[in-house]
A and B are shown apart, each in its own frame.
Chain A
Amino acid sequence: EVQLLESGGGLVQPGGSLRLSCTDSGFTFTNYAMSWVRQAPGKGLEWVSSISASGGTTDYADSVKGRFTISRDNSKNTLYLQMDSLRIEDTAIYYCAKSGYGDPAYWGQGTLVTVSS
């Protein structure tokens, strides 16, 4: 069973930084693309960023391009999202997601990021 566990969320001031982590407890992390998807309070789902299985290709939503950086450490089965220059509108639950049959196919439980002064 795929289990994705996010960490690193919390309260940060506008302009601040935060790094999210997501650990995959399975054995196939290195074979699959990974993504971050967020959900602002009371709103729908918004794709944030994706990274290929090797880490060589990354994509970003326009809303975070230049501020967020996705990366992965396949030796640690861990996905990261470095978030800089945070804005109030970045407040959301951030879900780690793994591709499979569909992209994504598996979801973590999410970590809450609150940007507020």
Chain B
Amino acid sequence: DIQMTQSPSSLSASVGDRVTITCRASQGISYFLAWFQQKPGKAPKSLIFAASNLQSGVPSRFSGSGSGTDFTLTISSLQPEDFATYYCQQYNSYPRTFGQGTKVEIK
């Protein structure tokens, strides 16, 4: 199974900050990497697919990069509605696997 490791597990940031979350796969997954946002009590929401492509309706302050084993999610200017938990997920092979999540909290 492919292990997905996110870092950090949590972070505190202020509105307007630039935030970067990293995700590392235990083996190469090409660009088959997605990012999801989840707010408390809500279903996950898809943000990015194929490592760097924004889902429809996702604000442009979100961006993704990487290929192979190392990936990043960047929020260029953190907004109040962005405080949430973020998960990466590989869909290169089964079983699909998620990172453990990164909780973005208000400083």
A interface residues (Cβ-Cβ under 8 A, vs B)? 35, 37, 44-47, 50, 59-62, 95, 101-110
Given contacts A44-B87, A103-B34, 12 further A-B contacts (CB under 8 A): A35-B96, A45-B98, A47-B98, A59-B95, A95-B43, A95-B44, A101-B55, A102-B48, A102-B50, A102-B55, A105-B49, A109-B43
Interface of A is mostly: strand
Closest to A107 in B: B43
Contact with A along B37-64 (1 / 0, CB 8 A): 0100001111011100101000000000
Cβ-closest 7 pairs across A and B: A102-B49, A47-B96, A103-B91, A59-B94, A102-B34, A45-B98, A107-B43
Q: Which residues of A contact B44 (CB under 8 A)?
A: 37, 45, 95, 107
What's the nearest-Cβ distance from chain B to residue A39, in Å?
8
Q: How far is the CA of A101 from the CA of B55 in the complex (A)?
A: 8
Q: How far is the CA of A44 from the CA of B96 in the complex (A)?
A: 14
Q: Which of A50, A104, A110 is the most central at the interface, judged by chain B CB atoms within 10 Å of its CB? A: A104
Q: Which residues of B contact A46 (CB under 8 A)?
A: 98
Q: Which of B44, B48, B99 is the most central at the interface, judged by chain A CB atoms within 10 Å of its CB? A: B44
Q: Which residues of A contact B43 (CB under 8 A)?
A: 95, 107-110
Q: Which residues of B contact A60 (CB under 8 A)?
A: 95
Q: Which residues of A contact B98 (CB under 8 A)?
A: 44-47
Q: How far is the CA of A62 from the CA of B95 in the complex (A)?
A: 9
Q: Are A104 and B46 within 8 A (Cβ)? A: yes
What's the nearest-Cβ distance from chain A to residue B58, in Å?
11
Q: Which residues of B contact A59 (CB under 8 A)?
A: 94-95
Q: Are B97 and A44 within 8 A (Cβ)? A: no
| B72 sits at the interface (CB 8 A) | no
Contact with A along B69-107 (1 / 0, CB 8 A): 000000000000000000101010011111111000000
